[in-house]
Chains A and B, each alone.
Chain A
């Protein structure tokens, strides 16, 4: 096993991010502000061995999202994404 594979993926961040987003974040599509690739948030590489969560682009490694809980407030940094798009219509039975 490679020791560099110490990441999970966007699926694992969905519970925590449901505190902030009313929609399912895993099926949201984001564009990386660095390489321009468009992927589902579920595909992002997620690092959890740090204060909070860090999601990186699966293609170029650029930080897409940082989320941390500091003294009772949740801080969300989304500047690594040009945009995040979500389904306008609610999905059946998902949340």
Chain B
């Protein structure tokens, strides 16, 4: 797979620390919801750094994709992408990558999405793909997030969850909840899995994405709730992705 040139065409803040970057990619072959790209930055002295970012946008044919990048406190690449990058800048990009952690529009079974923090990004691509295709597959999202201000795509998610229940959303706040929220802040647990996910007898396919510890915890809970391990797909990310 070769590196392609991509031009920044739009920048949009999602939260105080995360930014969506719209890219026009030369000769983009199209993607499937859930896939990611590798982004390469090269310094004038030739030093280069590569990071993987999930595609947030739905598949389309116009050669335009969006990624959402969360700024990591000691990151080497994310501070640049979320603070310095400007519209009109060029990036190098390799992709689309991955054919396993994907949702295809011909899938009709119930879908359970489970996001930890910025793990919502590839799941958002699935939700957008589901909406733009007018799919009737029942979609549900359990979104674990630190606090209300850390929610990505808030307005769009709200609109999609209102519209004939295109997607049913359950939020789980781990540090701070909105006022009068019924559940105290805390990580997802057995009770939340019972009320916020499809029952196992519907045989959903689940997609779990987040930091490694979140993915392990959530997957264990889904299996304990009777979900078939074979029908759970996972994608882990971490600040450990230091690759050159």
Residues of A at the B interface (CB closer than 8 Å) are: 1-2, 5-9, 11-12, 14-16, 18-19, 24, 26-27, 40-43, 48-49, 53, 91-95
Q: Which residues of B contact A18 (CB under 8 A)?
A: 1, 94, 97
Beyond the given pairs A11-B52, A94-B99, 5 more chain A to chain B contacts, judged by CB atoms under 8 angstroms and listed by A's residue number, are A7-B238, A11-B36, A42-B233, A48-B243, A93-B32
Q: A6, B97: Cβ atoms under 8 Å?
A: no
Complex formed: what's the CA distance from A94 to B96 in Å?
7
Asked whether, in the complex, the Cβ of A8 is within 8 Å of the Cβ of B237, the reply is yes
Q: How far is the CB of B12 from chain A (nearest CB, A)?
A: 25
Question: Once bound together, how far apart are the Cα atoms of A43 and B101, in whole Å?
Answer: 10
Tell me the chain B residues, 100-116 only, with Cβ under 8 Å from chain A.
100-102
**Chain A residue nearest to B214 in the complex (CB):** A1
Greatest chain A CB density within 10 A among B36, B50, B233, B238 is at B238
Q: Is B231 in the interface zone, CB < 8 Å from A? A: no
Given A12-B237, A15-B50; A40-B30 close (CB under 8 Å)? no
Query: Given that A15-B38, A26-B99 are known contacts, is A8 also in contact with B236, CB under 8 Å in the complex?
Result: yes
29 CB contacts below 8 A, A to B, read A1-B211, A1-B213, A6-B240, A7-B240, A11-B101, A12-B52, A12-B236, A15-B36, A15-B50, A15-B97, A16-B243, A24-B97, A24-B98, A26-B97, A27-B98, A40-B100, A42-B98, A42-B101, A42-B234, A48-B240, A48-B241, A48-B243, A49-B242, A93-B29, A93-B31, A94-B98, A94-B99, A95-B29, A95-B96
Identify whether the interface residues of A are mostly helix, strand, loop, or mixed: loop
With contact pairs A5-B212, A6-B238 given, residues A15 and B1 touching in the complex (Cβ less than 8 Å): yes
The B contact surface, by secondary structure, is mixed
Interface residues on B, range: 35 or more
Contact B98 A7 (CB under 8 A): no
Complexed CA–CA distance, A12 and B242 (Å): 11
A21 to chain B, nearest CB (A): 9
Residue contact A15 to B213, C-beta cutoff 8 Å: no
Given A2-B213, A8-B212, are A95 and B1 neighbors across the interface (CB < 8 Å)? yes
Distance in Å from the Cβ of A47 to the closest Cβ of chain B? Answer: 9
Shortest A12–chain B CB gap in Å is: 6
* Chain A residues whose CB sits within 8 angstroms of the CB of B22 once the complex forms: none
Does B204 sit within 8 A of A, measured CB to CB?
Answer: no
Contact of B216 with A by CB under 8 A: yes
Separation in Å of the A36 CB from the closest CB of chain B?
A: 17
Chain A residue numbers with a CB within 8 Å of B94 are 15, 18
| One of A12, A27, A91, A92 near B241 (C-beta < 8 A) | A12
Q: Look across to chain A and name the residue whose beta carbon is closest to the beta carbon of B122.
A: A11
With the chains together, A22 CA to B132 CA distance in Å? Answer: 30
User: CA of A75 to CA of B3 in the docked complex: distance in angstroms?
Assistant: 21
Chain A: minimal CB distance from B83 (Å): 24
Instruction: State the Cβ distance, B93 to closest chain A Cβ, in Å.
Output: 10
Give A94 to B238 CA distance when docked, in angstroms. Answer: 24
Residues of B within 8 A of A42 (CB): 98, 100-101, 233-235
Chain B neighbourhood of A41, CB < 8 A: 100
Let me know if A9 and B243 touch, CB within 8 A: no
